[in-house]
Amino acid sequence: MDLATQLKRRGPITKVGVIGMGYVGIPSSVLFADVYPRIYGFQRDSKSSGYKVAMLNRGESPLKGEEPGLEELLKKVIKKGTYSCTTDFSKISELDAVTIAIQTPFKDPKDLIPDFSALTDGIRMAGKYIDKGALVVLESTITPGTTQGMAREILEEASGMIAGKDFALAHAPERVMVGRLIRNIQEHDRIVGGIDQESTKRAQELYTPVLTTGRIIPMTATAAEVTKTAENTFRDLQIAAVNELALYCEAMGINVYDVREGVASLKEEGVTRAILWPGAGVGGHCLTKDTYHLERGVTMLGPDHLDYPDGKESLFTLARAINDFMPKHMAHLTSEGLTRAGKEVKGSRIALLGWAFIANSDDARNTPSEIYRDLMQHEGAEVTIHDPFVEESWIENDLDPVLNGADVVAIFTGHTMYRILDPNMNGINHPLPIVIDGRNVIDAERFIQAGWIYKGIGRGDKNNHLVQFNKR
């Protein structure tokens, strides 16, 4: 029996499972539950994340940042009885489709070897329980060739069935950003790539009811893998371009934000110079490693066919190096600020504001704040950390104790509360306090007038200002 017949016999998709209850799996599963009659969210009962099961079944989101619409929709589908979270993976046998949304970090970017251990566990579990005619979709960002290669092999071995004959297999990469998860899934176009035409069609059927303004873009599984890694690589490249421009502007004594506005003003049909924002570094699960997935993909699938300038570094990996440098630049600005105040890094007290990598979120994966903290501590500084969303024993959620006695206030995240910081804040009693603005969130002139030493990313117009005695 061919796959088309298997799918026809199974009938329309009504029961769906999502493996992995994280930043992708949670919003995906509740959106499915809003349009399908039975959805299971699958979560391992581990020490680090097993708590999510009970929370989700109570209608409480484990994600602590601002996620408009998520918790409201979760409560709605719990009340409807269409959604539940479980540790019982055997329920996969009941499902028409199962999606897998598990992180795929790299063990070491230097050798471009990904850590697929959690993902392969999830794939193997799906293969163990899927029935004939089921659809398996990988939503995780993966190295090009993974769906047709490793994933297919594991599923066939675990199930005893053949992909493309007994069950459908596709890649439909997530395209979301924390802080707008629900909206992104509904409104962004959905890339869908099956291992064959029938798999692609079945995956289209799965995702179409969830979309509002977004459309389905069908392609092959490998093309879908390249699409996701490429779009994040290009964004990383754009950020690197403006970060390098910011460093140039600092060196030349001008304001990168003036330059940015001027460049972005060139608008004509077919002409754009869209330019992103510079900052203290790039974090998150995707941009920090998807370049390496793309690079690894070409070394695996097309090394004998790649025509490229001899001995030249990849433009994409060079961009990664620039973005990785930015928290080190923040450390340089901190050292310069302390020198202007007649102080050394060793023995100084630094208030690091923001551990999440993005504003108004609790997502701290691969945060550039960690690189800065380690550098400063290595140089002998005492670093205390504040974040209103990230819950760790060593992170303060109350700002006052972090600021108390600080020589330096280093802003790494654009949380809303940091945008209204008062230069006359409590706890700062030094005659020459220092602020390092990594996200351009404070009024530089206001702080300078209040007697602060100011250093900001790309602020060549202000970084060497005349130091004024503390007027507070």
Q: Is residue 352 within a helix (H) or strand (E), and if so which, with residue range? A: strand 349-353
Residue 76 falls in the annotated catalytic set: no
Q: Shortest CA distance to 218 belongs to which of 193, 185, 188, 189?
A: 193
Strands 168-171 and 190-194: antiparallel
Residue 110 falls in the annotated catalytic set: no
Phi, psi of 454 (to 5 degrees): -110, 135
Which residue is catalytic, options 52, 85, 286, 455? Answer: 286
Cβ atoms < 10 Å from Cβ of 213: 9
Cα separation, 181 vs 63, in Å, equals 11
- DSSP for 135-166, written as a single string: EEEE-S---TTTIIIIIHHHHHHHHSS-BTTT
Q: Is 159 exposed, middle or buried (CB count within 10 Å of its CB: 0-12, 13-18, 19+)?
A: buried
Return the residue matching tokens 């979560």: 43
Domains and CATH numbers, the chain: 3-228 (3.40.50.720), 255-472 (3.40.50.720)
Which residue is catalytic, options 15, 52, 228, 289? Answer: 228
What's this model's pTM, rounded to 2 decimal places? Answer: 0.90
Tens-level pLDDT at each residue, the chain (472 residues): 899 999 999 999 999 999 999 999 999 999 999 999 999 999 998 888 889 999 999 999 999 888 999 999 999 999 999 999 999 999 999 999 999 999 888 777 666 678 899 999 999 999 999 999 999 999 999 999 999 999 999 999 999 999 999 999 999 999 998 889 999 999 999 999 999 999 999 999 999 999 999 999 999 999 999 999 999 999 999 999 999 999 999 999 999 999 999 998 888 777 777 789 999 999 988 888 899 899 989 988 988 888 999 889 999 999 999 999 999 999 999 999 999 999 999 999 999 999 999 999 999 999 999 999 999 999 999 999 999 999 999 999 999 999 999 999 999 999 999 999 999 887 776 788 999 999 999 999 999 999 999 999 999 999 999 887 665 4
Cβ atoms < 10 Å from Cβ of 120: 15
Angle at 145 between CA 144 and CA 147, to 5 degrees: 105
Residue type at position 469: F
Cα–Cα distances in angstroms (integers) from residue 183 to residues 67, 83, 446, in the given order:
9, 19, 36
